[in-house]
Structure 1
Amino acid sequence: MQQSGNTILITGGGSGIGAALAQRFHDLGNTVIVAGRRQAALDATIAGRADMHAMTLDADDAGAITAFAAAVTERFPDLNVLINNAGIMRVESLDTARDLGDAEATIATNLLGPIRMTDALVDHLVARGNGAIVNVTSGLAFVPLVATPTYSATKAALHSYTVSLRAVLSGRVEVIELAPPAVQTELTPGQSTRDGYQPLDAFADEVMALFAQEPTPAELLVQRVHPLRFAERDDRFAAILERLNGQAH
């Protein structure tokens, strides 16, 4: 993926990984649009930065995504990179019947959101000729955190979907997966200062170095996520599953 001269849309760009990547790509000379629910958070991301723009988006609403895609391509016809980053993570208990609202919301945001946004923009990105789609999954796509089962499942599904998308769009749109480890963001309460999680700036530094490789890897994997990503390959799945969930508990 080219490093400058892009027009990049990042969902979930008001905080955490989305905001950090948005600012790093802007520093490289790209026009960046951040999208999310909270206007104030988006405004904080773009404050003082020319050629950064904020647009509100409800990533759970299919109609809103369709309308947003039409609006963003009309306003920014040079849009050529989509980064599907918006996501939520909620703790769920599976051992008793419960309200499934958290599970349904997680599926809507983490899985249906990227599928719908990609569908709404894929024709435009193909026509651009230099397009790229980046889907942000998680190390938990490969070894689940049992306290957040639907989150882990949506990221596993998005990983699989990305593999299919890459095959179908080969030679027309570059398709990249970014699978973070546990990073110090506000994805869950208190996570931004949690010991053992990778500091956000260090994560962003490593990710941008991976983006700069030629060719850009199909999977962007910082060192901390390797044990999860390659647990099956290395015949360590059971051990890492136990260790990951023991630490979380």
Structure 2
Amino acid sequence: MNISGNTVFVPGSTSGIGLALALELRARGNTVIVGGRRVELLERIAAEHPGIDTVRIDTADPASIASAATEVLANHPDLNVLVTMAGVMRVEDWHTPDSFLASAEETVTTNVLGPIRLIAAFVEHLRTRPDATIMTVSSGLAFAPLKVTPSYNASKAAIHMLSESLRLQLADTSVKVVELVPPAVRTALLPGQEESEFAMDLAEFVAETVALIEARPDAKEIQVERVKFLRHGAARGDYDQVVRTLNAADPHGK
């Protein structure tokens, strides 16, 4: 993925990593469309950041995805980058189904079906562009489990393998598949995470991420240094120690 000159749609980017990345991509010379569920946040982003387009989208709703895709492609026929950013993370207790089933279903719908439906809505168009990218968003927790978030861990592991598989399938097209692998970042993904000393500063994460994209436009995975402890535990042979360390850090493993 080139760092500039793209038209980028980032659904799930009204806050956190999504918004910070969208703004930095805009600053790097890209046309950026921010997507999200809350109209008031979209209106505020459009007012505070002239030049950024917005579209309402609920990635848990197939009809909303279809409607947003139609709007985005009508207004931006040169779209060549899709970033499947939207996601949720929930603390769950799997001792009894009443305490986790609804959360697990919501997590899978948003984190797995959402990206699948987004890709389905845009892949035919992206194949018509001479240089296109699908950027998926997994997590360090796809590679080492945090005890209190089973469904989130599983959903991000699914995104990792989906990314690997799509890269193989789309190798005969103009579409590249890049997987962004964040560590814990100071956002509101979990209660208290914005103040967690174990999470990476948001501005530092985005700066390092963009620098990596710029330095390696052909990269298959974008891994900031901080996530490599989780990402490569199995390859290093210290996976069990990684899991112990992750889950001993604090109540959320951050």
TM-score for both structures, normalised by structure 2 = 0.94
Identity %: 43
Aligned CA-pair RMSD: 1.2
Number of the residue aligned with 1:191: 193
Secondary structure (helix, strand or coil) at the match of 2:184 reads: coil
Is the 1:13–1:45 Cα contact (8 Å) retained in structure 2?
Answer: no
Number of the residue aligned with 1:73: 73
Unaligned runs of 5+ in 1: none
Q: 1 CA distance for matches of 2:210 and 2:159?
A: 22
- Shift of the alpha carbon at 1:103? 0.5
Secondary structure (helix, strand or coil) at the match of 1:166 reads: helix
Number of the residue aligned with 1:182: 184
Give runs of aligned pairs for residues 41-120 of structure 1, distance below 5 A. Answer: 41-99=41-99, 100-120=101-121
- Shift of the alpha carbon at 1:49? 2.7
Number of the residue aligned with 1:216: 218
Q: 1 CA distance for matches of 2:74 and 2:104?
A: 34
Number of the residue aligned with 2:151: 150
Is the 1:32–1:52 Cα contact (8 Å) retained in structure 2?
Answer: yes
Deviations 1:111-130 (A, max 9, x none): 10000000110000001121
Number of the residue aligned with 1:168: 169
TM-score for both structures, normalised by structure 1 = 0.96
Say which of 237, 242, 245 aligns to 1:243: 245
When residues 215 and 33 of structure 1 are mapped into structure 2, their CA distance, relative to the original with a 3 A threshold, is closer
Range that drifts further, 169-178 or 24-33:
169-178
Secondary structure (helix, strand or coil) at the match of 2:119 reads: helix
Secondary structure (helix, strand or coil) at the match of 1:32 reads: strand
Q: 2 CA distance for matches of 1:88 and 1:78?
A: 29
Secondary structure (helix, strand or coil) at the match of 1:54 reads: strand
Q: 1 CA distance for matches of 2:26 and 2:54?
A: 13
Q: 2 CA distance for matches of 1:25 and 1:156?
A: 26
Range that drifts further, 56-65 or 200-209:
56-65
Give runs of aligned pairs for residues 19-38 of structure 1, distance below 5 A. Answer: 19-38=19-38
Is the 2:129–2:174 Cα contact (8 Å) retained in structure 1?
Answer: no
- Shift of the alpha carbon at 1:94? 1.1
Q: How many residue pairs get matched?
A: 249
- Shift of the alpha carbon at 1:78? 1.0
- Shift of the alpha carbon at 1:46? 3.7
